[in-house]
Amino acid sequence: PGQQSVGIVAVDAPSLPPRAHRCSQLHSLGRLAQQNLETLKKAKGCTVLFTDHSGVSTVGHVVLGTMDVHHYWVKLFERLPSYFDLQRKLMLLEDQISYLLGGIQVVYIDELQPVLTLEEYYSLLDVFYNRILENRMPFHSQSLCGLQMILNSDRYAPSLHELGHFNIPVLCDLANLQWFILTKAQQARENMKRKEELKVIENELIQVSTRKFSLEKLYKEPSISSIQMADCCKRLLEQSLPYLHGMHLCVSHFYSVMQDRDLCIPWNWKNGEAIK
């Protein structure tokens, strides 16, 4: 009820046990909505996440720390308009960086980057923007359009990820960066094309597996790649697993049964294990 009256789009608790903690936090949010309805309405259209700290995430989700007192949650909701302003500035900064680097798109990939607050990520972008503004690299306008890059602060040399995006350290040598991007641009495009092809294969195998085993749901953890998921599905399809009928199956890195009864199996399960 609290979620509906406030206008929150979705609520999740990615770092908590699925059911008991989530219900407890939802009850807390519901009580808070009854007591501070107008304040919580500032989160209209937002996704709320329950985790171990409070703030606003890089992608604009409202993050509520489960150990924080409710007064702190209220203060966060009151400050949301200023966070939304910062998010708009962040998007503008990404566009400005893109313009200076030949149209390459600045992206943030949750599963491949450290968890940052909106303020931390803005600060990272701002440092990098000021560096490339002072030391302009002569990229042709839009010559790198269609390519992607992520920024990080824990590396010193740029690299190209197998998924096709560039890993760019904020404090890297800019002369070396220009040379690296130009020499690796074609390989980056090929990697991105391969990534899209793998995604299509992965989705097809998920659909086929879901139908064959009459699964209610088949999904993977964010850390599982398309190659790993496709490999897992191919080997599952060679099995006869009638007891999976109607189940929720999650492809992960380990075997477990979640509190909401979803069954987890490792993507690289060994033959014999999956039929125990």
Q: Is residue 3's pLDDT more than 50?
A: no
> DSSP assignment, residue 56?
E
What band does 144 get if pLDDT is binned at 50, 70 and 90?
Answer: very high
Query: What's the confidence (pLDDT) of residue 11?
Result: 54
Query: What's the confidence (pLDDT) of residue 24?
Result: 67
> Which segments within 6-133 are labelled E, that is strand?
10-12, 47-51, 55-56, 62-65, 105-106
The token duo for 151 is: 């920024």
Specify the pairing of strand 55-56 against strand 62-65: antiparallel
Alpha helices in 169-240 (DSSP H): 174-212, 226-236
Give residues with Cβ within 8 angstroms of 35, minimum separation 6: none
Give residues with Cβ within 8 angstroms of 1, minimum separation 6: 30, 33
Residue 261 Rama label (left phi>0; alpha psi -120 to 50; beta): left
Query: What's the confidence (pLDDT) of residue 22?
Result: 57
The tens digit of pLDDT for each residue in 175-215 reads 899 999 999 999 999 999 999 999 999 999 999 999 999 99
Residue 126 to residues 53, 143, 169, Cα–Cα distance (Å): 24, 23, 13
What average pLDDT score do residues 21-33 get? 69
Three-state secondary-structure class, residue 117: strand
Q: Is residue 246's pLDDT more than 80?
A: yes
Distance, CA of 236 to CA of 213 (rounded, Å): 9
For residues 12 and 155, which has the higher predicted lDDT (pLDDT)? Answer: 155
Query: What's the confidence (pLDDT) of residue 76?
Result: 86
Q: Is residue 33's pLDDT more than 70?
A: yes
What band does 20 get if pLDDT is binned at 50, 70 and 90?
Answer: very low
Residue located via tokens 């590396």? 155
Query: What count of residues does the chain have?
Result: 276
Query: What's the confidence (pLDDT) of residue 245?
Result: 93
Specify the pairing of strand 256-257 against strand 263-266: antiparallel
Q: Is residue 147's pLDDT more than 80?
A: yes
Q: Is residue 267's pLDDT more than 60?
A: yes
Distance, CA of 69 to CA of 73 (rounded, Å): 7
The tens digit of pLDDT for each residue in 59-89 reads 888 888 877 777 788 888 888 999 999 999 9
Give residues with Cβ within 8 angstroms of 99, minimum separation 6: none
Distance, CA of 93 to CA of 108 (rounded, Å): 13
Query: What's the confidence (pLDDT) of residue 21?
Result: 54
The token duo for 21 is: 């903690």
Query: What's the confidence (pLDDT) of residue 12?
Result: 56
The tens digit of pLDDT for each residue in 99-130 reads 999 999 999 987 777 778 899 999 999 999 99
Query: What's the confidence (pLDDT) of residue 149?
Result: 96
Distance, CA of 56 to CA of 105 (rounded, Å): 22
Three-state secondary-structure class, residue 200: helix
Domains in the chain: boundaries? 2-78, 83-195, 213-275
Average pLDDT, the chain: 85
For residues 210 and 20, which has the higher predicted lDDT (pLDDT)? Answer: 210
